[in-house]
Amino acid sequence: MKKVVIAFLSFVLAVGFIGCSKKQSAENTITYMRWGNPSEVASTKELIALFEKQHPDIKVDFQSESWGAYWDKLQTLLAAGDAPDVFLLGATYVVDFFNVGAIKDLTPLIKKDNFDLSDFFDPPKKVFTFNGDLYGLPRDINSIVLYYNKNLFDEAGVSYPNKNWTWQDIVEKGKKLTRDLDGDGTPDIWAIQIINDFETGWGNFLYQNNGHLLNPKKTKCLLYENQAIDTFNFLYSLSSKLKIAPRSAQQASLGDEPFLTGKLAMNIAGSWLLGHYTSAINSFNWDVEELPKGKIKATIANGVANVMASSSKHPEKAWEFIKFLSGKEAQTALAKSGTSIPVRKSIAYSPVFLDGHPANKKAVLDSIAFGRNYPTTAKLGEWLQAIVLREIDYIFMGKKSPREALTTAANLVDKQLHEQQK
């Protein structure tokens, strides 16, 4: 998460946000904003064209940004009182947007249209529900899975991962998959990479070890517990003792997308990369599998939702667009694009999504059965970035022991949670 988002949310929470837009859109135009990679943006433009064809009385002014730039741009628009009518929102900041009244309760509109939510996966619905009311209509769900390079497995003579794999399999197979091809003492092929990220990294292992980031009431950080400490002892050992994962200083040499280089045998990442990898990888064969099991099976499963700004001057038109993005036509197009798992189960489990590459795509759906939500709470993006990830960096750099770093993180987060409750 970018620091600019943290600054923005601090500003919003300090001054509050409700406000009317200074510039009112033309009566037949709504504004829509989302983050996305090129393939996601392209598919969104196609959906907007279809929506406008079906709704000739509504024009959609579309704006898109990369993940980091998105929050910067949204900050500027909200601060200026010129929020987009509809925008994409994820789990990290949803509580903050709700707390300051920046997003509209969609429940009255849902009831008015008798909009059926029974076909939707539950995890993303829970994320955007406050006091029994829904503040965002989910568009997708995503699970974290294991991507693997079949060529590297074949070259090392290692059988492909299966859903019964455990942490021990990562170690045992990882030793064979890690190879120093030029004999300089540094591996050229790594078994796996663990990044300092809750959703696509250590958070999955924490849950698999029966650990938690927060207690059920979200009033206390539990990273000081033995389950968390044991998790990070294991993760750090992959690079320090076992040397089957690159250390922090070595990760930079693999670039932003190490799996694409063909130098990484296994990659823990989100199901939203299915379409990207399908189009970007042509030099090796790959597939996906459920994450290996710790004490239990667990993966982080969340979704994003389209929300309506409280300041929207065109709530009925904005609602029509939000409904469309979660409707069957748009969900079918989303399935074909491969950029996310459709939030509608009927579409996700249909051949429209499951057919095609990779062969074991169903693993991303099977993983939802043991999926865990983000522990959403106020200022999550702030303390996760500024406190927790900082201390975990010290672990992966070898500057602090897991017990020391995690105890420090837990104490600092507890102070912030306490302040929020005043």
Locate the domains of the chain by residue range: 3-139+303-343, 143-301+377-420
The reply to whether 3-139+303-343 and 143-301+377-420 are identical in fold is yes
Q: Tell me, what's the pLDDT at 251? A: 87
Sign of CA dihedral 152, 156, 162, 166: negative
The structure tokens listed for 111 are 């009831």
Q: Is the separation of the CB atoms in 230 and 295 below 8 Å?
A: no
Q: Tell me, what's the pLDDT at 109? A: 97
Position with higher pLDDT, 298 vs 67: 298
Average pLDDT over residues 212-239: 97
Average pLDDT over residues 415-421: 87
Cα separation, 260 vs 254, in Å, equals 9
Q: How confident is the model at residue 397 (pLDDT cuts 50, 70, 90)?
A: very high
Cα separation, 264 vs 190, in Å, equals 5
Q: Tell me, what's the pLDDT at 18? A: 42
Which residue(s) pair with 166 in the sheet? 293
Q: Tell me, what's the pLDDT at 245? A: 97
Instruction: Estimate to the nearest angstrom the gap between the alpha carbon of 274 and the chain centroid.
Output: 14
Average pLDDT over residues 68-79: 87
Which residue(s) pair with 288 in the sheet? 147
Residue 11 has pLDDT above 90, yes or no: no
Q: Tell me, what's the pLDDT at 6? A: 46
Q: How confident is the model at residue 374 (pLDDT cuts 50, 70, 90)?
A: confident
Q: Tell me, what's the pLDDT at 252? A: 84
Q: How confident is the model at residue 210 (pLDDT cuts 50, 70, 90)?
A: very high
Q: How many CA atoms lie within 13 A of 296 on its CB side?
A: 14
Q: Which CATH architecture has domain 3-139+303-343?
A: 3-Layer(aba) Sandwich (3.40)
Q: 85-136, pLDDT tens digit by residue?
A: 999 999 988 998 999 899 999 999 999 999 999 999 999 999 999 999 999 9
User: Above pLDDT 70, what percent of the chain?
Assistant: 94
Average pLDDT over residues 52-63: 96
The structure tokens listed for 119 are 């076909």
Residue 388 has pLDDT above 50, yes or no: yes
The amino acid present at 56, given as its one-letter code, is P
Q: How many CA atoms lie within 13 A of 8 on its CB side?
A: 23
Q: Tell me, what's the pLDDT at 420? A: 81
Average pLDDT over residues 239-256: 91
- CB within 8 Å of 80: residues ≥ 6 apart: 22
Q: Tell me, what's the pLDDT at 248? A: 86
Q: 335-371, pLDDT tens digit by residue?
A: 988 888 999 999 999 999 999 999 999 999 999 999 9
CATH no. of 143-301+377-420 = 3.40.190.10
Q: Tell me, what's the pLDDT at 255? A: 87
Average pLDDT over residues 381-396: 95
Q: 22-32, pLDDT tens digit by residue?
A: 444 478 999 99
Average pLDDT over residues 220-245: 98
Q: Tell me, what's the pLDDT at 9? A: 52
Q: Tell me, what's the pLDDT at 42? A: 87
Please list, residue by residue across 372-387, b when 16 or more beta carbons sit within 10 angstroms of its beta carbon and e when fewer do.
bebbbbbbbbbbbbbb
Q: 144-180, pLDDT tens digit by residue?
A: 999 999 999 999 999 999 999 999 999 999 999 999 9
State in Å, rounded, how far the first CA of the chain is from the last one: 26
Q: Tell me, what's the pLDDT at 5? A: 52
Residue 186 has pLDDT above 60, yes or no: yes
Nearest-5° angle of CA 108, CA 113, CA 118?
Answer: 90
Q: Tell me, what's the pLDDT at 14? A: 43
